[in-house]
Amino acid sequence: MKINLILITCLLAATNLMAQQINKVSLDLINVSDDQVNVAFLPPTPSEDQVEFQIPKIVPGTYSISDFGRFISDLRATDEAGNALTVERLSVNRWLINDATKLQKITYRVDDTFDSDLDNVVF
């Protein structure tokens, strides 16, 4: 059950970006620690110097605000050499990535919702 909720959150994030032609998304379901799954993806290289990364706030048909970004931690953006780009969290569901023309990969951790201490637990 826990893995299903984590997967739903991961897939929502990935689905949100599918329209932007993601090259690859990977979920590490083997090395789960502290009920968190590692997510990594290779987005297309943007032409803008700054881009905004967003996690869905709602899922159509649920009729409630879920703020899935609250289950995301350790979001990082790196260039081709693995060097960190500057990432600023703008709100619960939004991050600003600087030097985005160098963006090669975005990684983050997704926490499960099964035993969350947060209010408004999803599902």
Q: What is the pLDDT of residues 11-31, one digit of tens each?
A: 555 555 444 555 688 888 888
User: What pLDDT is stored for residue 19 in this prediction?
Assistant: 46
Q: Where are the domains of the chain?
A: 2-110
For 93-116, letters b (16+ CB in 10 Å) and e give bebebeebebbebbebbbbbbeee
Q: Which of 26, 22, 16 is nearest to 44 (CA)?
A: 22
The architecture CATH gives domain 2-110: Sandwich (2.60)
Residues of the chain with pLDDT under 50: 1-5, 7, 17-19
* Sign of the CA dihedral running 35, 40, 43, 46: positive
pTM over 0.85: no
